[in-house]
Structure 1
Amino acid sequence: MSSELITQYLYPFLISFTIFILLLFKWWLPPSAAKKHYRPPPSPPKLPILGNLHQLGWHPHSSLANLSRKHGPLMVLRLGRVPALVVSSVDAARAILKTHDVVFSDRPKSSIFRKLLYDQKDVAMAPYGEYWRQTKSVFVLHLLSNKRVQSFRTVREEEVANLIGDIKGSLSSVSPANVNLSETFAALTNNVVCRVALGRKYGGKRFKEMLMEFVELLGVFNFGDYIPWLAWVDRLSGLDVKMDKVAKEFDDFLDEVVEEHVEKRKRCDGGAEIVEDKADFVDILLSIQKESTIGISIDRVCMKALILDAFAAGTDTTYTVLEWGMTELLRHPNAMRRAQDELRRVAGDKSSITEDDLDQMCYLKAVIKETLRLHPPIPLLIPRESTQDTKVNGYDVAAGTRVIVNAWAIARDPSLWDSPEEFHPKRFLNLSIDFKGHDFELIPFGAGRRGCPGIAFAIAVDELVLANLLHKFDWGLPDGVEELDMTESTGLTIHKKFPLIASAAIATP
């Protein structure tokens, strides 16, 4: 080969190849890997470009639990270009959600969340900072405080009475009938949340489909967030078009809701304020907007983002607990009988269970705790992101690392729980462990600053619904069904993949 050809072709190739290798090496290492004494958490072997994405599987909470058994309760995965710290033990969760809570209180950017949640202006996915603090305070004070939750008691009891009436209407006095409990629970929680947040019920087939599509999209994997140069796959698969369609439909719906409330306020004595106890969440947001009582501006986009948070989150996770709770009781008739015995003893001759009765129902509360242990609605919680380099349990974690807390794995840890895969509500009769974010053995709603603020609201619905269903009806598997299918759905919130169908008969004294 002549020197001219070498100069013309070989040298440029070698230079380009060297630059490529250097860039790949720099991309592959953690941001702080060059630091002396840097000690990252252990990591499974990874593939070029994909990293560990191929190891997530259809049910990442289960796949990551298996990986953590081999690599430890703190491990780092490479999800395409995204470094992710996976947390799978009580000590590690406490370190992240309590000891270093401020460092890990940010949320990662996501194209799905940006499109569906108004550029992440909702409370759940907003970046950590003043905007998030102010909007969370609106939620906590005006929708989810103990006083407000109690003020919604009438709504809950009316909707539960409607549910019981509908089931009774479908039964004959002599033979049981099958009830689609998944559909029933979804409708009930939708009605409760609509009345509380939006002021009235909204229904119809398309509305239910829209909500289902919205929740499903929140948990979809999109290539562009992890491997940017593969973002074209999301366009080719139709994901981008579907996100735009659902976002537009919800935006139009929320605009109509807000406009209804604006017109209602105009009709109320020339704009007089609506009585606090009669106000729904949209009314409250309009009052805050008018009075400018907080440090941020509540514009129309912010308002719609907050309404969407209250509506979607309150509906989906609440009915998931009901669905799995009844599933486990149907699989364990002895546990169901014990719960019914307690309910009927406490209720006596009362025609229905009210919220005043619930404090006496220790076993029912244990059933809900055990359901949350085995089936946390969001098993990997909502991801966090570190804002600075820090040390966690002796390991270095770089700024910008995504954090995935596997609440599902912690709640099934055999070092913490006897027979962790079994449904045993009675374990909680002698345990002080609760699910409110103080006991890290059981964190289905998260913990720390970014823990779910709606625990009291969700549990109030779940307890009242389960209590009345078990009090009023005797339940069993449909004819010909010997065992329930426990296959899980995929996505952010984990439901049963197939609807829960149960046989109901009016309870005999």
Structure 2
Amino acid sequence: MISYNCKDVGFTPYGEEWKALRKISVVELFNAKKIQSLTYIREEENDLLVKKLMESASSRPTVNLKKTLYTLVGSIVCRIEFGINLHECEFMDEDRIADLADILKLMENTNLFSDFFPGRIGRFVDWFLGQNKRLENAFSEHNTFTNNILDDHLKPERRIQESSDIIDVMIDMMSKQDEDGDSFKLTTNNVKGMISGLFIAGANTSGVTMIWAITELIRNPRVMKKVQDEIRTTLGDKKERITEQDLTKLHYFKLMVKEILRLHPAAPVLLPRETMSHVKIQGYDVPAKTQILINAYAIARDPKHWKNPDEFNPERFEDSSIDYKGLNFEFIPFGSGRRICPGIAMGIAIVELGLLNLLYFFDWGLPEKEEGDEEIITGNEVALDLVQVLRH
């Protein structure tokens, strides 16, 4: 559903269509020059985040971390990738971004009984359990969001008032492709699939990574103190705003981000792939056209390659050349090879700048426990104490 019949860059089978979509993604959005030119958007949205959190801290002690961070990354993604400012958007309330992320997660994670038992019995069980209805409702809301973005880009006045983004480029290509005579033709489903894929890959993954980062830091006060001491000592205590240039001055902070990606990859099981030919893996014959699932979560916690793999310990990367860019197969949160996520640099920039602002300006902890409450920390949704440490 979310890929519009496998028409996005993530699910499209290898071939001319995938090559064309991948090329559009890299050239129009994920090249180094483009990422650098959009720095101001990431910085502006983080400045707004800090301002809102400071106002919140002065009136109440807690903040819904999930909602806050999804609003941040959703606003960044929509401005960078779709040219839409959620703070002024007519068809999407910025506060509903977290709800939309939940809908996408439901669509990604729901398995139909009929997928495993095709036929009448499988379809009956899905109907009886209400699975089809839930997925249809979820897709309807997601499809409305996608259609609204597409319709907004088709407004005649948009071309005059705003600069082109990746969706503008695809629409322009569609209007000219009959003249160009290319063998591959873009369709509306390609455009909608691109919108869906970019939003999931940008907002959903970045949001959940940042939530896990704050969660693990609260679980591990030693690491929290060490990383905040580095940040505040290196950058000083007089800064009114953080820039991406500040990230180049930090070392332990970068190790912490690596450790979060190792322990909590945003896509624990990478997108399904298909063998192009018959291969033999560890004595097993794998025929051509076999669907392959790579468990990045299990690989990154394999005790054969990681000492105390379930421990949150950024120091493990201190003297290690292992990185997340797809060349070290024991650590592949973004995949590897030709199917590696094209938006690694963009995603890391969003996550690192967001976390740096949160850790520089604020101290974090759990709300005071009510009598009889259990102390449970999860990466799903946490209301965290917010303590303002720097007021200018």
**TM-score of the superposition, structure 2-length normalised?**
0.89
Is 1:217–1:243's contact at 8 Å kept on the other side of the alignment?
Answer: yes
Provide the aligned C-alpha RMSD in A.
Answer: 2.3
Aligned counterpart, 1:352: 241
For 1:184 and 1:233, how far apart are their aligned partners in 2?
Answer: 38
For 1:210 and 1:358, how far apart are their aligned partners in 2?
Answer: 30
For 1:312 and 1:484, how far apart are their aligned partners in 2?
Answer: 31
Aligned counterpart, 2:153: 261
Is 2:153–2:168's contact at 8 Å kept on the other side of the alignment?
Answer: yes
Q: 1:321 to 1:180 in 2, by over 3 A?
A: same
SS of equivalent residue, structure 1 residue 439: coil
Aligned counterpart, 1:485: 376
For 1:477 and 1:186, how far apart are their aligned partners in 2?
Answer: 19
For 2:323 and 2:224, how far apart are their aligned partners in 1?
Answer: 21
Q: Which amino acid in 2 is paired with 1:485?
A: I
Cα shift at 1:365: 0.9
Cα shift at 1:444: 0.9
Aligned counterpart, 2:7: 121
SS of equivalent residue, structure 1 residue 116: coil
Q: Does the alignment pair 1:322 with 2:204?
A: no
Is 1:126–1:132's contact at 8 Å kept on the other side of the alignment?
Answer: yes
Q: 1:337 to 1:308 in 2, by over 3 A?
A: same
Aligned counterpart, 1:246: 138
Q: 1:143 aligned to 29, 33, 37, which one?
A: 29
For 1:154 and 1:328, how far apart are their aligned partners in 2?
Answer: 29
**Could you give the per-residue CA deviations for residues 99-149 of structure 1, whole angstroms, max 9, x where no partner exists?**
xxxxxxxxxxxxxxxx33211111111112111111111111111111221
Q: Does the alignment pair 1:409 with 2:295?
A: no
Counterparts in 2 of 1:66-81, with a 5 A limit? none
Counterparts in 2 of 1:8-407, with a 5 A limit? 115-172=1-58, 177-200=61-84, 201=86, 202-203=92-93, 208-229=98-119, 230-265=122-157, 268=160, 278-292=163-177, 296-348=184-236, 349-407=238-296
Q: Does the alignment pair 1:445 with 2:334?
A: yes
Q: Does the alignment pair 1:502 with 2:384?
A: yes
For 1:367 and 1:313, how far apart are their aligned partners in 2?
Answer: 21
Name which one, 1 or 2, has greater alpha-carbon Rg: 1
SS of equivalent residue, structure 2 residue 34: helix
Is 1:181–1:500's contact at 8 Å kept on the other side of the alignment?
Answer: yes
Cα shift at 1:209: 3.0
Cα shift at 1:485: 2.7
**Could you give the per-residue CA deviations for residues 238-269 of structure 1, whole angstroms, max 9, x where no partner exists?**
22223233333333332332222222456629
Q: Which amino acid in 1 is paired with 2:40?
A: T
Cα shift at 1:397: 1.4
Aligned counterpart, 1:428: 317
Aligned counterpart, 2:89: none
For 1:265 and 1:283, how far apart are their aligned partners in 2?
Answer: 13
Q: 1:172 to 1:238 in 2, by over 3 A?
A: same
Equivalent residues, number: 377
For structure 2, the 5+ residue unaligned runs are 87-91
Cα shift at 1:402: 2.5
Cα shift at 1:364: 0.9
Is 1:181–1:323's contact at 8 Å kept on the other side of the alignment?
Answer: yes
Aligned counterpart, 1:32: none
State which drifts further: 332-341 or 248-257. Answer: 248-257
Q: 1:178 to 1:266 in 2, by over 3 A?
A: closer
For 2:146 and 2:183, how far apart are their aligned partners in 1?
Answer: 24
Aligned counterpart, 1:470: 359
Matched-pair identity in %: 37
Q: 1:127 to 1:353 in 2, by over 3 A?
A: same
Cα shift at 1:184: 0.8
Is 2:75–2:94's contact at 8 Å kept on the other side of the alignment?
Answer: no
Q: 1:508 to 1:209 in 2, by over 3 A?
A: closer
Q: Which amino acid in 2 is paired with 1:162?
A: L
**Could you give the per-residue CA deviations for residues 257-302 of structure 1, whole angstroms, max 9, x where no partner exists?**
2222222456629xxxx6xxx3222222223223437652222221
Q: 1:421 to 1:253 in 2, by over 3 A?
A: closer
State which drifts further: 290-299 or 355-364. Answer: 290-299
Q: Which amino acid in 1 is paired with 2:123?
A: A
Is 1:318–1:461's contact at 8 Å kept on the other side of the alignment?
Answer: yes
Q: 1:483 to 1:461 in 2, by over 3 A?
A: farther
SS of equivalent residue, structure 2 residue 293: strand
**Could you give the per-residue CA deviations for residues 193-222 of structure 1, whole angstroms, max 9, x where no partner exists?**
111222221326666534422321111111
Is 2:73–2:203's contact at 8 Å kept on the other side of the alignment?
Answer: yes
For 1:362 and 1:324, how far apart are their aligned partners in 2?
Answer: 20
For 1:140 and 1:243, how far apart are their aligned partners in 2?
Answer: 31
Is 1:281–1:307's contact at 8 Å kept on the other side of the alignment?
Answer: no
For 1:204 and 1:123, how far apart are their aligned partners in 2?
Answer: 26
Q: Which amino acid in 1 is paired with 2:256?
A: V
Cα shift at 1:395: 2.5
SS of equivalent residue, structure 1 residue 376: coil
State which drifts further: 283-292 or 424-433. Answer: 283-292
For 1:189 and 1:394, how far apart are their aligned partners in 2?
Answer: 44
Is 1:346–1:360's contact at 8 Å kept on the other side of the alignment?
Answer: yes
SS of equivalent residue, structure 1 residue 416: coil
State which drifts further: 382-391 or 457-466. Answer: 382-391
